[in-house]
Amino acid sequence: MTKEEMINKYHSSHAFTPIVRPTVTIPPSLTELKRPTVDQASLIIKAHKPYYYSKKEINPLPYIDATLAEKRNIWFVSIGNYWYVDWDAERLPFRTVVIHHSAGPNNVTVAEINQGCKESLYAKRYASGNNDPYVKGLEPHSGHMVNGQESFLPYHYIVYPDGTTKKGLSPLISINGVWYVDQVGWHAGNWEINCQSLAILLIGDYSNATPPPAQIKAVKKIINGLKFFNPELEVAPHYQFNSQTNCPGSTFEQWQSEIS
């Protein structure tokens, strides 16, 4: 079997049941949805987007083998002479909105948040020996393109105290009449929740305070809009899924009803 044949064989290996992640049932068309065509890939490669690797420079087989050794789901995408890891391939139907706060100054920029998340989330993950999938030694890449740039944001919406809202990751996409999370954000500390949820980040420190009215109003507007896609939408605090944090603050239950 040639290298190309082996890559294609494991390109969408549904036969491997993950040890830690839950078994995920994905519509057949979904695994191909986010993968670019050869023409699109060529344009991206020419633009030097960092999440494509040349097979001549970096052989994907050791990464595939290390992942398969743990019998995990793998999502290595092969486009011609290039390959990358598709972190969105396990997206799930949209069920939840997770609320976060930045716990920092009110004037932090989206660019600063993006850089911080690249260092604290992606760089850390790509340096680890975790085999789900095995990516140690690769240049950190998210596969998320936002406004023509690679984004390491884990959030889909960022809301400032004055109500100004910035869009982050692409939120939703319709597959066979079902609304799925489009770009999966690394925000909840729980992979299954990440795959089914959108993240809203409130700029500010609300550890022991309540967000101002303009910010509450803006978040409520976002959530009301998202209920069109799922009327049974759950709105939950970050700490519900991660016991290591109190994000978005101890007062959340006092203002939860105002946004949901």
Query: For the residues 41-62, what does the mean pLDDT come to?
Result: 69
Its sign, for the CA torsion 75, 241, 126, 119, is positive
For residue 89, the model assigns a pLDDT of 81
For residue 71, the model assigns a pLDDT of 66
How confident is the model over 102-116, as pLDDT tens digits? Answer: 999 999 999 999 999
Residue 40 has pLDDT above 60, yes or no: no
For residue 85, the model assigns a pLDDT of 83
How confident is the model over 94-152, as pLDDT tens digits? Answer: 999 999 999 999 999 999 999 999 999 999 999 998 888 888 988 888 888 888 788 99
Mean of all residue pLDDT scores within the chain = 81
For residue 13, the model assigns a pLDDT of 33
How many angstroms separate the Cα of 258 from the Cα of each of 68, 126, 202, 207, 255?
A: 47, 39, 14, 17, 5
How confident is the model over 155-190, as pLDDT tens digits? Answer: 999 999 999 999 999 999 888 888 899 999 999 999
Rounded to whole angstroms, the Cα distance separating 84 from 177 reads 28
Residue 12 has pLDDT above 80, yes or no: no
For residue 147, the model assigns a pLDDT of 80
Q: Name the one residue in this structure whose structure tokens are 């946004």.
A: 259
For residue 48, the model assigns a pLDDT of 46
How confident is the model over 173-182, as pLDDT tens digits? Answer: 888 888 899 9
For residue 204, the model assigns a pLDDT of 96
How many angstroms separate the Cα of 199 from the Cα of each of 19, 158, 170, 191, 193?
A: 26, 9, 11, 13, 10
How confident is the model over 221-251, as pLDDT tens digits? Answer: 999 999 999 999 999 999 999 999 999 999 9
For residue 223, the model assigns a pLDDT of 95
**Which of 116, 124, 121 minimizes the C-alpha distance to 188?**
121
What contacts 121, CB < 8 A, 6 or more positions away? 152, 154, 186
**Which of 91, 119, 214, 203 minimizes the C-alpha distance to 155?**
203
In the chain, where do the E strands start and end? Answer: 53-54, 76-79, 82-85, 96-101, 145-146, 149-150, 157-159, 165-167, 172-175, 178-181, 197-202, 234-237
Rounded to whole angstroms, the Cα distance separating 57 from 110 reads 33
